[in-house]
Amino acid sequence: MHLVANFWPGATASLFQQEIAAFGNDQLLAQGYLFRSVATVEGGLLIVGVWSDKAA
């Protein structure tokens, strides 16, 4: 497994939902993307994803 963490400065949960919706079905994850968690933190959003492997 491979873990990726990203900080999106200035983002809100609402903005994140709008961005995801722009790509289509917001309930589906890309192939190899096993899990996603999004948390509001000071200054923006912390987005953590778990992938099946680094190549995915």
DSSP assignment, residue 52? S
Q: Which tens digits make up the pLDDT trace of 16-50?
A: 989 888 877 666 677 888 998 999 999 999 999 99
Q: Distance between terminal CA atoms of the chain? A: 10
Instruction: Provide the pLDDT for residue 56.
Output: 76
Instruction: Provide the pLDDT for residue 55.
Output: 81
Q: 6 by DSSP, 3-state: which?
A: strand
- Domain assignment present for 56: no
- Domain assignment present for 25: yes
Which of 7 and 27 is assigned the larger pLDDT?
A: 7
Helices assigned H by DSSP within the chain: 13-22
Total tally of structural domains belonging to the chain: 1
Instruction: Provide the pLDDT for residue 26.
Output: 61
Range of the domain at 24: 2-51
d(CA 3, CA 23): 22
